[in-house]
């Protein structure tokens, strides 16, 4: 008997879970859409075990491939941390207020929203995770699997800024202020 190829799906997305919340608590319309797609994939597998489905959830991708072919290259004002920090020193644009990185601190609080701990993943590691998922599809026992791609180690925005300063030898110029 010839075994037929099983249809496959890999769905990959930036994590949508609320901080310390259940899976049913996505934060935005886009996050709810990602949850719905995951549910559709699970339903598909439940209705037909002939499918191989891998759901990849990743966290905060940063960095670039040494070739420059993949990674962060924003146009205009960046909307995430590392390009923002890089612009701050790369173009020496300290005279623009929008390029000053503010780290808010609250008295008697462990951390503020900008000191919130996140799990950053390098874009090359993220790509390797996708390759591993493709290889996992070779496993005949695969059903509908969920994998979180991340380091498993939380890093605050401030820690990332300081790590950037240490690695580059450049000062990014942030200030710590207490909100009103």
The answer to whether the CB of 137 falls within 8 A of the CB of 53 is no
Does any domain span residue 161?
Answer: yes
CA distance 30 to 26: 9
130-144 pLDDT tens trace? 999 999 999 999 999
Does any domain span residue 44?
Answer: yes
Domain count, the chain: 1
**pLDDT of 53:** 97
Q: Which residues pair with 60 in a beta bridge?
A: 120
Does any domain span residue 15?
Answer: yes
Does any domain span residue 107?
Answer: yes
CATH of the domain at 37: 3.40.50.720
Domain of residue 151, residue span: 8-168
Does any domain span residue 179?
Answer: no
The answer to whether the CB of 105 falls within 8 A of the CB of 112 is yes
| pTM listed for this prediction | 0.75
Does any domain span residue 57?
Answer: yes
34-86 pLDDT tens trace? 889 999 999 999 999 999 999 999 988 888 888 878 877 767 766 677 777 77
Does any domain span residue 157?
Answer: yes
Does any domain span residue 175?
Answer: no
**pLDDT of 109:** 40
Both structure tokens of 51: 């499918």
């Amino acid at each position: 008997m010839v075994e037929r190829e099983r249809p496959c799906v890999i769905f990959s997305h930036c994590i949508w879970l609320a901080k310390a919340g259940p899976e049913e608590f996505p934060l935005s319309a886009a996050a709810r859409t990602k949850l719905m797609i995951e549910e559709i994939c699970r339903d598909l597998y439940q209705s037909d075990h002939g499918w191989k489905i891998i759901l990849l959830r990743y966290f905060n991708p940063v960095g670039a491939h040494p070739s420059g072919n993949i990674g962060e290259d924003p146009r205009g004002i960046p909307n995430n941390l590392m390009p923002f920090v890089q612009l701050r020193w790369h173009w020496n644009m300290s005279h623009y207020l929008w390029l000053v990185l503010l780290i808010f601190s609250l008295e008697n609080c462990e951390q503020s929203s900008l000191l919130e701990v996140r799990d950053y993943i390098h874009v090359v590691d993220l790509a390797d995770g996708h390759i591993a998922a493709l290889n996992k599809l070779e496993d005949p026992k695969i059903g509908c699997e969920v994998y979180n791609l991340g380091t498993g180690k939380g890093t605050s925005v401030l820690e990332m800024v300081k790590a950037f300063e240490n690695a580059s030898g450049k000062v990014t110029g942030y200030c710590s202020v207490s909100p009103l």
